[in-house]
A = this chain, B = another copy of it.
Amino acid sequence: MPSSRRVTLKEVARQAGVSYQTVSKLLNGQVRLLPETEARIREAVDRLGYRPLYPARSLRSRTSRTLGYSWTPATPDSPNQILDLLLQSMLSAAEASDYHLLCFAHHFDVRRELETYLTLYETRRVDGFILSSVEYDDPRILFLLEREIPFVAFGRSNPELQFPCIDVDGCEGLRMVVNHLLESGHRRIAVLAWPETSRVGNNRLEGYLQAMHSAGLEPDSLWIQRGEGQVAFGEEATRRLLNLPPERRPTAIAALNDLMAFGALRAAQQSGLHVGSDIAIAGFDDTPAARYVHPPLTSVRQPIWQIGQQLIAMLLEVLNHAYTSPPECVLLAPELIVRASTSPEASE
């Protein structure tokens, strides 16, 4: 009669008639046994439903098979539209390698934030970290590099620092938008941009400039409107653009995010323009709402699933010391989703 006590290696070994260390080695693939011995052990494992106790394994093996992740909380003004997908992607990738994800709270106080990372690592709750929302001079990067704590980052930081990193090629994304607008016949294309301090913003803006120059066009300085990236700014900047004299007035507007594009949509409609035919408007990020506004918004979708998968794969490589060459930043191309706001005949 099986008692309800937990099934340990010793119990399995007893029933299979081997030493418990042998069972451990078999399950960890560290040894090859006689087929019949192996069969006896596996039978006992299955019959008893043995599962190795995680803290015991972790104590001895000095690894937690757990990865830490923390992210900057969203505000009502900038909801985090990708968190769900990114997490699910990382979770599935981690699970496939028998790893798990430990989430922990973000702290706006930098000292406390760094302390949290260090404690999690030193108490061996996690083997390494995934960082997101990385910016220039991100204190976490230097902190972790100095202590040789394994991590990967979603987003680039200072170019002089070398660490494994994945980022979306925002430059390429805006090139795609502008080229799409050029192909539709637009020549006077404006852009709703972020302040000059934004790394992500400058990267995307660069794509606009490159695409315009490649087409032999020199953007009017007024076509580059900078603001704080909200709906309200998109609306007022668009009104300014529409008030320009006809020969300087843009026929298309590329926004660096969907929120500003939503504002542009509203301003254009209030001016009596029919978005899609009278004027083209495109966003960036492909937020859920992009499909639901009227007309549906052309936007640039980041390959979030792929990013999650690669982040985990890279971190596991770091943990296995599988890196031969110094780690570089991997750039992934985004995808242009064409909808009716730039192309009236688009299906959506």
Q: Which residues of A contact B (CB under 8 A)?
A: 6, 51-56, 58-59, 64, 66, 71, 73-74, 76, 79-81, 83-85, 87-88, 91-92, 94-95, 100-106, 119, 122-125, 231, 259, 262, 266, 269, 288-289, 291-294
Contacts and interface: CB of A to CB of B under 8 A. Distances in A.
Contact of A102 (B52, B101, B122): B101
Nearest to A100: B102
Contact of A288 (B6, B54, B92, B289): B289
A76 B289 contact: no
A55 B53 contact: no
Contacts of A288: 76, 79, 289
A88 B53 CA distance: 29
A293 B293 contact: yes
A124 B122 CA distance: 20
A87 B100 contact: no
Given A87-B103, A289-B289, A293-B293, A53 B124 contact: yes
B81 A103 contact: no
A289 to B, nearest CB: 4
Contacts of A73: 84-85, 88
Contacts of A88: 73, 105-106
Nearest to A230: B292
A291 B76 contact: yes
Among all A-B residue pairs, the 7 with the closest Cβ atoms: A55-B58, A289-B289, A91-B105, A79-B288, A55-B59, A54-B123, A55-B55
Contacts of A59: 53, 55-56, 59
Contacts of A79: 81, 84, 288
A125 B103 contact: no
A59 to B, nearest CB: 4
25 contacts: A53-B59, A54-B55, A54-B123, A55-B58, A56-B59, A59-B59, A66-B102, A74-B84, A74-B85, A76-B291, A80-B84, A83-B83, A83-B87, A88-B106, A91-B105, A95-B104, A100-B102, A100-B125, A101-B103, A101-B104, A102-B103, A266-B294, A289-B293, A292-B293, A293-B293
A301 to B, nearest CB: 10
Nearest to A94: B105
A103 B123 contact: no
Nearest to A259: B292
B123 A53 contact: yes
Given A91-B103, A101-B104, A105-B95, A119 B83 contact: no
